[in-house]
Structure 1
Amino acid sequence: MALRLEHDDLGISESSFRWPEPDGTDAMTSGGATRDLDLLARHIRELCAGRPERLTGVGVAMPATLDATGTVTAWPGRPSWAGVDLRGALSALFGHAEVRCADDGDLAALAEAHEARCPDLLYLGVGTGIGGGIVLNGKPVPGVGRGSCEVGHLVVDRDGPLCDCGRRGCVQAVASGPATLRRAARRRGEEVTFTALRQAVRGGKPWAVASLRESGRALAAAVTGVCELLHPSLVLIGGGFAAAMPELVAMVAERTAELGRPGHPPPPVRPARLGGLSSLHGAVLLARGLPD
């Protein structure tokens, strides 16, 4: 969890913390969500010098699925949050400040588009999962309050591995960091850590390069599908896994170029600019009233 404060009197400051891992009882009760919210409130008060009510706008980037009222409808990683009125809980903490919530992938795309000065952009964040978003004419698609752009759940392999959403073959199930590591372990015949994979890719080990290339091909399939529909000017790939594995972006760019149709060249595919903080910067833009 990352926090950023921008205030005329309090200045700019950032902090981060980790929520406890959910235990077996969290899925059955609301205790996990209550604990998480209490911890969040404490860190917010510390960051705001004990006076969060001094803020005028609050932006929240969430990996959970939210409805138009700011209530969590699903969060596979933290099931106790289902039904939590997140906007209401934060509004009670911040007083009169307007609280705006949106998908973390959508906000990451918005921040990357703002940083790149590109009004039409596709962003993919590759980490423990795959998030992402689309910005057209400077605004996220489908738009704040209308749900999220779940790029990670585009199906790229109908008979592929099971995704945590319940479908098979989502790009997240094929190309996320954990999915790539599992595939590398099968090829190598033993468990593979992220560090071992990174070193093996740089050393040109066939099992490692092939495992990463399969992820790149899945991402390129998703990119190609989106580009055929919406024609973004630029594709950016970020997230912790991709940032530490620069070969992945090159593989996606190469395969995307191969998939281009005659007379329809694909947009450039490049590394994202904001690293692991793109969603945080997007939340700040949301708090400032963008993309209205």
Structure 2
Amino acid sequence: MSGITGFLGIDVGGTKVAVRVEGTGADPYRTTFRWSADGDVADDMAALDRTLAQVRRHWPGPLRAAGVAMPATLDTAGRVTAWPNRPAWAGLDLAAELRRMLPGTAVACADDGDLAALAEARAAGHDDLLYLGIGTGVGGGAVLGGALFPGTARGSFEIGHLVVDRCGRRCDCGRVGCVQSRASGPAILRRAAELRDGPVDPAELREAWRRRESWAVVAVDEACAVLATAVVGTAELLHPAAVVVGGGFADAFPDVTPLVERHARALARPGHPVPPHRPARLGGLSSLYGALHLARTLPVPALVD
């Protein structure tokens, strides 16, 4: 088989999808697209198929393996069991769909927060860290001793679904008081709209935050306090060497990382300092690079010329 072997990373988000293919001897190729607003699963699969066909046209050789970062809950076979942001995906055999779109390519799916944590640990040279990803939801992952904890065989690291307020808001998952219900991008926008007494879009929130308007400051600060609560509780159990804060929202609001750390320090017990907090080195691309790492580590048959 001629051409340059490629490895494909796919980061499936609640609002958009990022795709990157790379391999030795060719320039990487990256593209993104946004999901349609209606959430129809057939339309979504058609959009993904068109994008992957575009990638295959641009890449000069075979695609050996694809790693997929997913925020949805998957079973061990790669079937979607739940995804509040796109409920029509429930029951979708995503792994089978991707194998259909990528014939001859090995495919594996994993939690986006887990993959982001692994990518950030590799980028920072840390064997032990806690990762928070703030975007359409709140994801996360933990790397201990250089390996994911608890490990993909036992399930994903769902820090966004830690209950921090039993009398709080209802989460998209159906439970009350999850971190995600207070600290995801949409949750912060909803809180900002309440405080402003009118609708708020992401650009307006960024500009108001830059000008330090009170409604924007309170909305973001409250979310950071919730994230810090999750960090402190998790750090008591895992003792990570560092906390990395990433995701699209954190990438757009660089002040979020030190603000989470400030709240975490205020919650720390005497003699138990919180680990240092750092912004994600890979910015909003942590899950995408984690998906690429997954692709490179998949056991696949050797390609024969």
Letter in 2 for 1:14: R
Equivalence for 1:27 = none
Alignment of 1:62-141 (within 5 A): 62-141=70-149
Letter in 1 for 2:20: R
Percent of aligned pairs with the same residue? 54
Distance in 2 between the 1:202 and 1:96 partners?
49
Say which is worse superposed, 231-240 or 208-217, in terms of deviation: 208-217
Distance in 2 between the 1:285 and 1:202 partners?
36
CA contact (8 A) 1:5 1:48 kept: no
Letter in 1 for 2:179: V
Distance in 2 between the 1:13 and 1:61 partners?
18
Deviation at 1:271, TM superposition (A): 1.1
Distance in 1 between the 2:265 and 2:32 partners?
38
Equivalence for 2:276 = 268
What are the Cα deviations for residues 22-50 of structure 1, in whole angstroms up to 9, with x where unaligned?
Answer: 25xxxxxxxx3233223222221221228
What are the Cα deviations for residues 63-119 of structure 1, in whole angstroms up to 9, with x where unaligned?
Answer: 111111111111122222212221122223333432111011111111111111111
CA contact (8 A) 1:53 1:93 kept: no
How many residues get paired?
283
Equivalence for 2:302 = none
Equivalence for 1:190 = 198
Letter in 1 for 2:46: D
CA contact (8 A) 2:65 2:298 kept: no
Are 1:228 and 2:217 an aligned pair?
Answer: no
CA contact (8 A) 1:53 1:94 kept: no
Letter in 2 for 1:12: P
Describe the shift of the 1:228–1:51 C-alpha distance in structure 2 as closer, same or farther (beyond 3 A).
same
Deviation at 1:174, TM superposition (A): 0.8
Distance in 1 between the 2:48 and 2:189 partners?
32
Query: Match for 1:19 among 18, 35, 58?
Result: 35
Equivalence for 2:23 = 7
What are the Cα deviations for residues 127-152 of structure 1, in whole angstroms up to 9, with x where unaligned?
Answer: 22211111112222222243211111
Deviation at 1:222, TM superposition (A): 0.4
Can you give the 5+ residue segments of structure 1 that lack an aligned partner in the other structure?
24-31
Describe the shift of the 1:20–1:205 C-alpha distance in structure 2 as closer, same or farther (beyond 3 A).
closer
**Aligned Cα root-mean-square deviation (Å):** 2.1
Equivalence for 1:26 = none
Describe the shift of the 1:36–1:255 C-alpha distance in structure 2 as closer, same or farther (beyond 3 A).
same
Equivalence for 1:142 = 150
Distance in 1 between the 2:259 and 2:161 partners?
20
Distance in 2 between the 1:140 and 1:22 partners?
35
Query: Match for 1:218 among 226, 232, 235?
Result: 226
Letter in 2 for 1:2: A
Equivalence for 1:254 = 262
Are 1:279 and 2:287 an aligned pair?
Answer: yes
Describe the shift of the 1:55–1:250 C-alpha distance in structure 2 as closer, same or farther (beyond 3 A).
same
CA contact (8 A) 2:52 2:101 kept: no
Say which is worse superposed, 222-231 or 242-251, in terms of deviation: 242-251
Distance in 2 between the 1:205 and 1:9 partners?
50
Deviation at 1:200, TM superposition (A): 2.7
Equivalence for 1:45 = 53
Deviation at 1:235, TM superposition (A): 0.5
Equivalence for 1:29 = none
Describe the shift of the 1:284–1:39 C-alpha distance in structure 2 as closer, same or farther (beyond 3 A).
same
Distance in 2 between the 1:52 and 1:170 partners?
45
Distance in 2 between the 1:155 and 1:130 partners?
13
Distance in 2 between the 1:95 and 1:53 partners?
13
Equivalence for 1:181 = 189
Describe the shift of the 1:18–1:202 C-alpha distance in structure 2 as closer, same or farther (beyond 3 A).
closer
Letter in 2 for 1:176: S
Describe the shift of the 1:145–1:22 C-alpha distance in structure 2 as closer, same or farther (beyond 3 A).
farther
What are the Cα deviations for residues 142-175 of structure 1, in whole angstroms up to 9, with x where unaligned?
Answer: 2224321111111111111111111111111111
CA contact (8 A) 2:63 2:105 kept: yes
CA contact (8 A) 2:71 2:113 kept: yes
Query: TM (normalized to structure 2)?
Result: 0.86
